[in-house]
Amino acid sequence: MEFLTDYGLFLAKTLTLVLAILFVFIVLIANASRHKSEGKHKGHITVTKLNDEFDDLRDDIRHEVLDDDVLKAEAKAEKKKDKEEQKARRKASKEASAEPERKRIYVLEFDGDVAASEVEDLRHIITAILAVARPELDAVMLKLESPGGMVHSYGLAASQLARLRKHNIHLTICVDKVAASGGYMMACIANNLIAAPFAYIGSIGVLVQLPNVHRLLKDNKVDYEMITAGEYKRTLTTFGENTDKGREKVQEEVDEMHLLFKSFIHEWRPALDVTAAATGEVWTGTQSLTKGLIDAIDTSDEWLLTQCKEADVYEVSWVRKLKMRDRLTALLEGSISASLQKIMFGLLHRADKEKFYS
């Protein structure tokens, strides 16, 4: 009997703790939703020297595969080399001959979604780089991945990259996977556009699509009212009855936007045959090179390793400063999302395996 009493108290305490935790999470989510209108919090720039990171990776391998005697000999040789370089710099300083400035390369990343959400971070980073970069000497490399999205959002992102060109900062863009549609709108700004052999490039076109459930509503005797002022305030709708006149107007707008898209690309890549390229098709990196959409075939990793031999390479990113409730909310959302993804992929994997068994 005493055991049952203790066990009941234990269950009561556990249930109370669980309910308290759930209550805290509910309050946090409610507060996050309530304060969405406050806008994004400020953040800060983080800088990592990639030369040092690559050296550390190299040293980790060397310490595992080389003998101690070889390591000691290499360390001695490197130390001797450093002393000689320092001696040469001091001698040059005494002779009043200015040593050539070493080039700096700032590395950025842009992982684009439909709304080009990272454009706000990009604005901060480029503004910071322009404050310190030396025109004609320093450079920027952007690792770009994007299947495209909203025209106005990607137009702003492309305009941010154009700021670098305006200030005579050489811009290299590397595409390892995809730069299509709005992604290519950004990519074409580059002085030097590089893509991996199987990266997807192109999709130079404009698309408008939306479902229409008017007939479903009509069959179920549901009326949909919409009052507008202006002949073309609404052309195509989801719930109302679309007309040929509305469709013609939207087609006219799409064609005009496509023309602007082609003109923009021609401005930055005048040698490209835009008419042949702007069919909405997507090509691999290798095909894109022959068509003139890119300048070279390479990966961002190989390009960076090569540049580290001749320049100081810095990875620059923007870290947003979040309030505690936002951090906890993001943590909760991330945990739920990860759990759902794990369940979904598990079911898909199981279904894929089970089809081979009777």
- Is a pLDDT exceeding 70 seen at residue 177? yes
Distance CA 102, CA 138 (A): 9
Higher confidence at residue 112 or residue 67?
112
Q: Are residues 189 and 308 in the same domain?
A: yes
Q: Check whether residue 235 and residue 186 sit in a common domain.
A: no
Is the pLDDT at 101 greater than 80? The verdict is yes
Looking at the predicted structure, is the pLDDT value of residue 355 above 50? no
State if pTM tops 0.75. Answer: no
- Nearest CA to 202 out of 141, 265, 159 is that of 265
Strand locations in 242-284 (E): 282-284
Pick the catalytic residue: 233, 309, 353, 355? 233
181 part of the active site: yes
* pLDDT, position 350: 57
Q: Do 214 and 182 have their domain in common? A: no
Say if residue 108 is in the same domain as residue 222: no
Range of the domain at 177: 41-63+103-203+281-336
Co-location of 163 and 234 in the same domain:
no
Residue 286 lies in a domain: yes
Residue 328 lies in a domain: yes
- Backbone phi and psi for residue 193, each to the nearest 5 degrees, phi listed first: -110, 120
User: Does residue 7 carry a pLDDT above 60?
Assistant: no
The verdict on whether 337 is a catalytic residue reads no
Cα-Cα-Cα-Cα torsion 228, 230, 236, 240, nearest 10 degrees, comes to 30
Q: Which of 146, 153, 181, 288 is catalytic?
A: 181
The DSSP code for 149 is: -
Residue 268 belongs to some domain of the structure: no
pLDDT of residue 94: 60
